[in-house]
């Protein structure tokens, strides 16, 4: 191993020395000779000390190059070598030759100490033009930078004002990406923190261009969105100002469909809520284009219509202004036929008021029927994929579970002209099924 050692001239020609001050042992050396000691080398305490070739500038910091009494010699370590950052020591050394001072660079223009690089105002720099200390890079005002042109400290990247950045041009700290004003960003151009994406003003975004937080999507002003362009929160869809939407372009919240102003719609373009259909102003419609609510049909202004284009409520038919019509185009109520102005008509184009109707295939006054209290379970909603009788049976089975089933059964049996066989033919519910609860004798 070769290095450089600084020696002083003696009064003897060709003889040079070191030590003799600060407790060090005075030793004389001649070029071409080998010197050996019997004890182990210890830095700063025992042995022949010298500098590595790449660190010879440190020798120039300890000795004046312009001093006529100082000479610099090339040495070769022939024995055991112990070293630290700057110095080496050996128990056997050869003085190889004298190095001309003109071949040595005077301090590499460093005003700082212990620099292997040049033009450093700071100390311990291997790079160049550093005002800070311990920099491997160049032109750093900060310290411990591997990169160049850093104002901050411990940067592997370049042009960082912050600290601990692997990326470049970061004002923040601990960024793997570039051009971040925030901290801990893997992406680029983030004003926020902890972003894997880029161009985020918010924090913890995996997507890009988010002002909100924790977005996997892009361009979100809201938070926790996997979709894009949402001002609301927790949207899987895009362009939502509401929250928790799987669909797109919703003002409301919890919509699976799109373009809804209301909430919890599976359909699209609903102003109302909980619609399975589309374009509804009302709520809970399975159909479409309804102003009213709870319609399975379409284009109804009324409520609970199975048919379509009804202004009234609870119509199974179509285009009825009245209520509870099974037929079509009725202004009156409870019509099975069509085009009736009056109520309870089975025929067509009737205007006179009916005093009697048929109940269980027998004559019954309209007044008696209207004044009779009916059991709740005979009113039910038809379900898609299930027949009328099955839906009737579902309502019956649910009613039997209730504590007021005894009362419900009494109301059924007290209907005008009640007949078990007719009721079973219509509903599929037999006499035995009605009384399977065990209270038949009491009702009888």
Could you give the CA distance from residue 238 to residue 181 in angstroms, rounded to a whole number? 28
Helix or strand (DSSP H, E) at 137: none
Could you give the CA distance from residue 178 to residue 102 in angstroms, rounded to a whole number? 45
- Report pLDDT digits (tens) over 374-424: 999 998 877 878 898 999 999 999 999 999 999 999 999 999 999 999 999
- Report pLDDT digits (tens) over 82-122: 988 668 999 999 999 998 876 665 556 777 777 777 788 88
Could you give the CA distance from residue 257 to residue 112 in angstroms, rounded to a whole number? 69
Could you give the CA distance from residue 279 to residue 273 in angstroms, rounded to a whole number? 11
Low-confidence ranges of the chain (pLDDT < 70): 22-23, 53-67, 85-86, 102-108, 437-444
Q: Where are the beta strands (DSSP E) in 78-216?
A: 81-83, 87-90, 92-99
Could you give the CA distance from residue 333 to residue 350 in angstroms, rounded to a whole number? 12
252: left (phi over 0), alpha (psi -120 to 50) or beta: beta
Closest CA to 195 of 168, 223, 165, 215: 215
pLDDT for the residue 105: 54
- With H, G, I as helix, E, B as strand and everything else as coil, classify residue 410: helix
**Which residues share a beta bridge with 82?**
89
pLDDT for the residue 16: 92
8-state DSSP, 25 = P
pLDDT for the residue 209: 93
Longest dimension (CA), the chain: 149
8-state DSSP, 361 = T
DSSP labels, 99-141: EPGGGS-SGGG-SSSS-SSSS-SSSS-SSSS-SSSS-SSSS-S
Could you give the CA distance from residue 34 to residue 75 in angstroms, rounded to a whole number? 10
Decide if 176 contacts 169 (C-beta within 8 A).
no
Instruction: Tell me how crowded residue 192 is: count the other CB atoms within 10 A of its CB.
Output: 25
Decide if 419 contacts 431 (C-beta within 8 A).
no
Domain locations in the chain as residue ranges = 2-105, 377-443
Closest CA to 55 of 4, 97, 99: 4
- With H, G, I as helix, E, B as strand and everything else as coil, classify residue 7: strand
Closest CA to 5 of 92, 85, 124, 99: 99
Decide if 112 contacts 123 (C-beta within 8 A).
yes
**Which residues share a beta bridge with 75?**
3, 95
């Amino acid at each position: 191993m070769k290095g450089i050692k600084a020696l002083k001239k003696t009064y003897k020609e060709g003889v040079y020395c070191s030590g003799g001050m600060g407790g060090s042992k005075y030793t004389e050396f001649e070029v071409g000779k080998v010197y050996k000691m019997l004890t182990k080398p210890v830095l700063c305490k025992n042995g022949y000390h010298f500098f590595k070739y790449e660190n010879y500038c440190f020798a120039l910091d300890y000795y004046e190059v312009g001093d006529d009494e100082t000479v610099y010699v090339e040495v070769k370590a022939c024995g055991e070598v112990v070293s630290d950052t700057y110095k080496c020591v050996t128990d056997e050394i050869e003085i190889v030759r004298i190095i001309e001072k003109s071949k040595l660079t005077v301090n590499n223009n460093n005003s700082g100490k212990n620099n292997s690089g040049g033009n450093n105002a700071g100390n311990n720099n291997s790079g160049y033009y550093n005002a800070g200390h311990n920099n491997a890079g160049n032109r750093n005002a900060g310290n411990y930078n591997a990169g160049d042109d850093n104002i901050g400290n411990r940067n592997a990247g370049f042009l960082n004002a912050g600290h601990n950045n692997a990326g470049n041009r970061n004002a923040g700290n601990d960024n793997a990406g570039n051009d971040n004003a925030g901290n801990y960003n893997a992406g680029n151009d983030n004003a926020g923190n902890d972003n894997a994406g880029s161009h985020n003003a918010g924090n913890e975004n995996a997507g890009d261009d988010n002002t909100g937080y924790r977005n996997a999507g892009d361009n979100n002003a809201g938070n926790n969105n996997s979709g894009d362009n949402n001002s609301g929160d927790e949207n899987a869809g895009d362009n939502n100002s509401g929250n928790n939407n799987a669909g797109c372009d919703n003002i409301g919240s919890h919509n699976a469909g799109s373009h809804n102003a209301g909430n919890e719609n599976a359909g699209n373009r609903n102003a109302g809520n909980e619609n399975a259909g589309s374009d509804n102003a009302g709520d809970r419609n399975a159909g479409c284009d309804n102003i009213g609510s709870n319609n399975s049909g379409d284009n109804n202004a009324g409520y609970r219509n199975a048919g379509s284009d009804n202004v009234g409520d609870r119509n199974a038919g179509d285009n009825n202004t009245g209520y509870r019509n099974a037929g079509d185009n009725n202004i009156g109520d409870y019509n099975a036929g069509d085009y009736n102005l009056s109520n309870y008509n089975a025929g067509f184009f009737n205007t006179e008021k009916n005093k009697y109707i048929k109940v269980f295939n027998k004559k019954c006054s309209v007044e008696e029927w209207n004044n009779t209290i009916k059991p709740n379970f005979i009113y039910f909603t038809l379900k898609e994929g299930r027949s009328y009788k099955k839906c009737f049976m579902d309502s019956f089975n649910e009613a039997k579970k209730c504590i007021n089933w005894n009362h419900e059964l009494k109301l059924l049996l007290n209907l005008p002209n009640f007949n078990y066989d007719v009721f079973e033919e219509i509903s599929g519910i037999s006499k035995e099924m009605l009384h399977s609860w065990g209270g038949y004798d009491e009702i009888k």
